[in-house]
Structure 1
């Protein structure tokens, strides 16, 4: 309906790529930079000013490397709009594209460390998200950085702040929790406190993240196929952390117990949580060179294409040699009048050369696809190494003195789940 509609004579709307509870998200072309961007739109006649809130939060988060880049905002006669950076696939779509729709332990831990940092950055400016889920995190594929060791990294970014709530007052103190706040969030990932109608705090964003972590590892949560919100709540009460963390490294149980023990007003120790997961990562024998699952899959696809091309070339080469050999024998037959088996066209293998069709492999998500404005970032000196690598370096020094035998034992005695 709005395809091709220009905003400020600069952004030309293309196809719709997502829909939220209060607006729609479009892919748009920046007519000046010729880059693609994401445009979130909300009708002016809506009573809830969700896009105004999102606009304000996004602007305040621009110093964070774990959020999308703000580009512009405004309104026309019908809509308010927010123009922002276009990311790669969201975590939900990336997980679905993996074998058995799950991530390996290495990828899950690396993503979790990034997401803890993203949530912390939001909490620092005085807001809680209240809708932490895989669809609200995306990968900045094109805007990459390298650590001091030369390792290329992607950043995991948080977005969609329409349900955010300010938990700090004007003096920077935590507001008292409301007795009746109602349910907020997505039933599958919402904390038990949300089901019980309690006011949500920083702990609840991290409890939702814990459910995400279990889903990324196991493929689904125990209440995955339940639609009724009350039944989901009962399932969450019945499935304790011990059940959900069965066969997983003990750090995951400690992770849940720490968050679950926090009070509404408590400030989580984000650094401790990142360190806890990173220690597990090192114990299992992973290092800074371990790649994300989707990067490995992409390399496998490239190798398969190269292998197919190589086989095709060899096949074509063998066919050409056989045809040349046949013609040569016919010439010898004529010269020496030797009777040879018939080498007519019917007996010569006919080689059909098939051209490989290499189509673009695109990844789509509900709100993000690919990155824009990478040139501007390079001009600004690029982005610093991600939180995971900083912690990894710190903890790795503690383990560097251990012998190779110890590490071998750790690998052999790591978790017995089918994921690893």
Structure 2
């Protein structure tokens, strides 16, 4: 697929992701020179998954944390979706930080992700596959913004009547699936938020109580362990009580009952203030990158000061100039790290639905 041109403008460069219904490549917009993400689905499979996802992006366009679609359409045997390239997923960043986030970072994540779901729900959609892989950091000036991706399993949901407009069976991720998903019940807003709550516990603990069971494919046992995870058990763990309150709230929402998003955000914001955290948008991964850069710069400076006297034994003053030069380079490099973001590991997931038609206006 490399070097293929999409719509006479977008060049396919290298594969960065693969899933059940397509491939994801990084590419280049030849008109602007900008890097883009290119998602491809073979039209011969008859599923039209990418068309469905494009229809979701179209209705969500303009929202904070929603990727901008630049092109959608067919190219040869493939249906194509071209959108803004993003940074690493929360799962990638979780691994980068040693599979544990600080409470401050979890609370910063919670504030943004609850808002993302509120927006998606307000537009009449359920995501239905909420997990760390599906939240990506932005790039450049939007580096502190979290984006929601992969709407292949999304379904439209009538916010006025609390009814799903069509049957779309769920085949999402067992690890983060809601209890009602396990039970085969119809899902609504609360299920997305419940899955998000499991992600918060995952970030704080490094794993979930049913993770080993899920690895062996026992969905029924995973369901039983989730049923046993009461708010009281969470309170007995290392997590502040706000997390138990959050899980309890999402689980007690009846079908079609609208969540109190402001209340959920307020829970975590008050905890943030009570802990004395500074709202500077400095996440764990931001701090780790800075420390790594600083250590690298120190090592380079030490190396310069050790080598210089040997080269210029008769002119020791140059050693001082080399040290200052290293320090100046540190400031420039710090800016580069602030701007630099790894490429996205866009993941494509399987989906199944009873109808693939676009939501009626």
Coarse TM-score class (shorter-chain normalised): 0.7 to 0.9
Other-structure match for 2:105: 107
Match of 2:205 among 218, 223, 226: 218
Determine if contact 1:130/1:184 at 8 Å carries over to the other structure: no
> How far apart, in 1, do the equivalents of 2:35 and 2:211 lie?
35
- Where does structure 2 lack aligned partners over 5 or more consecutive residues? 316-325, 348-361
Q: Equivalent residue for 1:199? A: 186
Whether the 8 Å contact between 1:182 and 1:198 is mirrored in structure 2 is no
| Bigger proportion of residues as helix | 2
Query: Shift of residue 72 of structure 1?
Result: 0.9
Structure 2 equivalent of residue 250 of structure 1: 241
Structure exhibiting the larger radius of gyration computed from Cα positions: 1
Inter-partner Cα distance in structure 2 for 1:3 and 1:71: 20
Equivalent of residue 174 in structure 2, options 171, 187, 192: 187
The CA distance in 2 between the partners of 1:126 and 1:98, in whole Å, is 35
Q: Which residue of structure 2 aligns with residue 233 of structure 1?
A: 223
Matched, 1:156 2:154: no
Task: State the shift of 1:110 in Å.
Answer: 0.4
How far apart are residue 51 of structure 1 and its match?
1.2
| CA distance in 2 between partners of 1:123 and 1:176 (Å) | 12
Determine helix, strand or coil for the equivalent of 1:154: coil
Residues 311-330 of structure 1, C-alpha deviation per residue, up to 9 Å, x if partnerless? 11221245457x549xxxxx
SS at match of 2:158: coil
Is 1:166 the counterpart of 2:156? The answer is: yes
- Please say if residues 193 and 200 of structure 1, whose CA atoms lie closer than 8 Å, have aligned partners that are also in contact: yes
Deviation at 1:3, TM superposition (A): 0.8
Quote the Cα distance in structure 2 between the aligned partners of 1:156 and 1:165. Answer: 22
Alignment of 1:8-407 (within 5 A): 8-99=7-98, 101-144=99-142, 154-168=144-158, 172-175=160-163, 182-226=169-213, 227=215, 228=217, 229-245=219-235, 246-289=237-280, 291-319=282-310, 323-324=313-314, 363-367=342-346
1:173–1:290 CA distance, 2 compared to 1 (3 A): closer
**Contact kept in structure 2, 1:181 and 1:199, CA below 8 Å:** no
Is the contact made by 2:41 and 2:79 (CA closer than 8 Å) also made in structure 1?
yes
User: Is the Cα–Cα contact under 8 Å of residues 230 and 248 in structure 2 kept in the other structure?
Assistant: no
Structure 1 residue 183, shift from structure 2 partner: 4.4
Tell me how far apart the structure 1 counterparts of residues 61 and 165 of structure 2 sit (CA, whole Å). Answer: 28
Cα pair 1:88 1:365 within 8 Å, conserved = yes
| Structure 1 unaligned spans of 5+ | 145-152, 326-354, 369-420
1: distance between equivalents of 2:281 and 2:148?
23
Q: CA deviation at 1:63?
A: 1.9
3-state DSSP of counterpart to 2:342? coil
How has the CA–CA distance of structure 1 residues 220 and 291 changed in structure 2, closer, same or farther, with 3 Å as cutoff?
same
Is the Cα–Cα contact under 8 Å of residues 177 and 264 in structure 1 kept in the other structure? no
Relative to the length of structure 2, the TM-score reads 0.83
Distance 2:243 2:52 in 1: 34
Whether the aligned pair in 1 keeps the contact of 2:234 and 2:243 (CA below 8 Å) is no
| Residue deviations 1:95-142 (CA, integer Å, cap 9, x gap) | 00003x111110111011101111111111111011001111101131
* 1:189 to partner: Cα distance: 0.3
Equivalent in the alignment of 2:3? 4
**Mapped partners of 1:265, 1:50: distance in 2:** 26
Contact kept? 2:50, 2:79, Cα under 8 Å: yes
Aligned-partner SS, 1:161: coil
- State the SS of the aligned residue for 2:211: coil
How many correspondences in the alignment? Answer: 324
Distance 1:294 1:111, change over 3 A: same
Aligned to 1:45, what secondary structure does the other structure show? helix
TM-score by length of 1: 0.72
Shift of residue 48 of structure 1? 2.5
Deviation at 1:50, TM superposition (A): 1.8
Contact 1:51–1:162 (8 Å) recurs in 2: yes
